[in-house]
């Protein structure tokens, strides 16, 4: 009794979850739905985190003081993406950047557009480009992308 060895099997698995963002993330998302960016300040080290997750990862204490931040900031690092992902409609190559908003102590990731990929630099000043307000929801996708900011120096 022998046959070809079984080299693989398929066992499809799908589980549905009801996700709870938590108190701090919910406040952040509700504010984003109104076009506002809310950070939270650590009572110990005074750092401002955005998006807020409700705790200071350095001190392990709740961050309750809220700080409204502008939609302008600085590129702290970036990468040029040349490999398309399934479902992505963005033209290649594009730039994914870490952006530190003015007044924040931590950067978050977003798209950087309206500039050629090879012109992007660390330290570049950028500004959010929002979708029209009637398309806003509780998501950072309300910001379509960031673009270079020209401001008086």
Partner 1 sequence: MREVAVVAFAQAPSVRREDRRNEVEMLMPVVREALDACGLTKSDIGFFVSGSSDYLAGASFAFVHALDAVGAWPPIQESHVEMDGAWALYEAWVRLQHGDVDTALVYAFGKSSPGPLRELLALQLDPYVLAPLWPDAVSLAALQARTLLDAGRLTEADLAEVVRRSRRAALANPNAQLRGEPEIEALLGEPYLVSPLRRHDCPPISDGAAAVVLAAGERARSLTRRPAWIAGIDHRIEAHAIGARELAASPSTRMAAGRAGVFSGPVDVAELHAPFSHQELILREALRLDDGTQVNPSGGALAANPMMVAGLIRIGEAARRVTDGGVRRAVAHATSGPCLQQNLVCVLEGRGSA
With CB under 8 A as the contact rule, the residue among 53, 125, 131, 147 that binds partner 1 is: 53
Residues 88-117 close enough to bind partner 1 by CB under 8 A: none
Query: Rule CB under 8 A: is residue 4 a binding residue for partner 1?
Result: no
Query: Rule CB under 8 A: is residue 20 a binding residue for partner 1?
Result: yes
Q: Which helix (H) or strand (E) holds 26?
A: helix 23-32
In sequence order, what are the beta bridge partners of 49?
40
For partner 1, how many residues bind (rule: CB under 8 A)? Answer: 25
CB of 42 to partner 1, least distance (A): 9
Query: Rule CB under 8 A: is residue 54 a binding residue for partner 1?
Result: yes
Cβ atoms of 95 and 112 within 8 Å: the answer is yes
Query: Rule CB under 8 A: is residue 138 a binding residue for partner 1?
Result: no
With CB under 8 A as the contact rule, the residue among 2, 7, 19, 152 that binds partner 1 is: 19
Nearest to 69, CA basis, from 46, 101, 109: 101
Residues 6+ apart with CB under 8 A from 42: 48, 49, 56, 58, 59, 61, 63
């Amino acid at each position: 009794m022998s046959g070809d060895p079984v080299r693989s099997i398929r066992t499809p698995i799908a589980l549905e979850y009801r996700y709870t963002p938590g108190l701090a993330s919910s406040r952040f998302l509700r504010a984003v739905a109104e076009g506002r960016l809310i950070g939270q300040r650590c009572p110990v080290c005074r750092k401002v985190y955005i998006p807020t997750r409700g705790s200071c990862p350095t001190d392990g204490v709740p961050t309750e003081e809220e700080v409204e931040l502008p939609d302008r900031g600085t590129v702290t690092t970036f990468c040029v993406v040349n490999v398309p992902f399934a479902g992505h409609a963005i033209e290649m190559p594009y730039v994914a950047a870490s952006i530190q908003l003015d007044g924040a102590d931590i950067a978050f990731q977003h798209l950087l557009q309206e500039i050629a990929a090879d012109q992007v630099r660390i330290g570049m000043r950028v500004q959010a480009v929002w979708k029209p307000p009637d398309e806003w929801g509780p998501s950072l996708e309300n910001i379509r992308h960031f673009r270079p900011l020209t401001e008086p120096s």
